[in-house]
Every structure is written in structure tokens, then in C-alpha cells.
Amino acid sequence: MPNRSRDWLNQALRDLAHAEDSLRAGRHEWACFAAQQAAEKAVKALHLSLGQEAWGHVVARLLQELPKTVSVPKTLIEKGRVLDNFYVPTRYPNSHPEGAPFEHYGELQSKEALNYAREIIEFVRSQVA
């Protein structure tokens, strides 16, 4: 079976670019979701580069499940937890007591999400290189 880790990392970078585009366009709910997706796919790329598969969508758990030979900073796991909160409620109106998702996210959240996703991607790159 071929190693697809590079494909996953390339898609993570594409998702990050989508998040940046959404931020510039003021679509903050999509910026947050795309940032979460970028981080998730990057960590899955790292798992694949280490010869293991990873399932699920929880970035913090995916980071925690890396082999002990990979030293993941606790702060990175915490940033993964922040991103995990953008997986469902950024897309579904019934995730909030009222209002559509776009009414609940702004520049503050999308900039934070992008910064955290970038940090996770850089961590992954440092481990894969």
C-alpha cells in the first residue's frame, strides 16, 4: 500500500488556504471549520508517515494518539481542543440555541482558528521533514 501522507498534508495546506480565503471574505464560520479540517488532515498525514492509520475527527485525540516517540507539546493538544469545537457548530443551525452558524463566529474566532491550525501544520512538517 502506498504512503499517502504527502496527499493528506497537501490537502491540509489547501484547506488552510480555504480558511484564509474565508476569513478575508468574512465567512468566519467556514474559516473556523476549514482551519479545523486543515489541522485534522495534517495530523492524519503525520500518522500515515509513521506507518499507522488514524480515524476520527478530534484533533486533540489524534495528537494524543501519536506514538510516544513523537513529543507533542501539551499546548498544541489544547489548541487542537479549541479547533475541535469548530467541527460541528460552524455548520449546523441546531448546534446553537438560536441563530444560524454565521451569526456566532467572527474575526476573533477565525483568526485564532487559523493561527492554531498553522501551528499544528508546522509541527507536523517538523516531524515529517
**pLDDT digits 0-9 by tens, 5-62:** 999 999 999 999 999 999 999 999 999 999 999 999 999 999 999 999 899 999 999 9
Lookup: cell for 4: 499517502
According to CATH, what is the number of the domain 5-128?
A: 1.20.120.330
pLDDT at position 3, please? 86
Question: The pTM is what?
Answer: 0.96
pLDDT at position 24, please? 98
Q: What is the mean pLDDT of residues 87-108?
A: 97
| Domain residue ranges in the chain | 5-128
pLDDT at position 1, please? 64
pLDDT at position 118, please? 98
- Helix crossing, 5-25 with 28-49: angle to 10°? 170
Is 90 exceeded by the pLDDT of residue 129? no
What is the torsion angle, in degrees rounded to the nearest 10, for the CA atoms of residue 17, residue 18, residue 24 and residue 30?
-140
Q: What is the mean pLDDT of residues 97-106?
A: 97
